[in-house]
Amino acid sequence: TVYYHHAVSIASQMFEKAADLALANGELEPEAYARMNDIEAFWNILHSKVSSGLAKRLLNRRLFKRIVYKDIKKGKTNREEIEERLINRAKLKYDEFIVFESKMRFIKEEGTPVLNRHKKKIGTIESLSSIIKTLKENEATRFIIASDRKNKRKILEAIKGQ
């Protein structure tokens, strides 16, 4: 679905990082943030010293672009180590990139029931559809690093060997 499209994931991660930075810097109170609607939260992040850069990029639709996109096995990639390499080796600021795992899931609920026209359960979508069964068996976790395209070479050099 469109909700798993990389641009949506990147925008969500950029917003999350902006909020996390504002919270960590004390510019947003966790209790107040939890009660805010989307507009209030975005306005506060937009006016934050540490998060305004990311918020302005979102507002102006200048999303980060995928630099690294690869399948990973669980536990094989350490996000903190990657972020440290990007800061120390690529000399990027913490708000100049995002690093996240994206789990490609096609069906969120296990055992999604399929009903006949009399509203009687005839099985699960996984048991009745070979396409859905195959999609579920091939769900993957992908590791994504996104940033400005101008940082691509520095990022690739910094994570070489990962």
**Over the stretch 64-106, which tens digit does the pLDDT of each residue have?**
999 998 876 555 567 888 999 999 999 999 999 999 887 665 5
The whole-model pTM stands at: 0.73
Residue 36, exposed/middle/buried by CB under 10 A (0-12, 13-18, 19+)? Answer: middle
104, 115, 109: which is closest to 137 by C-alpha? 104
pLDDT of 3 strictly over 60: no
Angle at 101 between CA 95 and CA 107, to 5 degrees: 135
* Count of alpha carbons within 13 angstroms of residue 58, beta-carbon side: 22
Closest CA to 151 of 72, 25, 67: 67
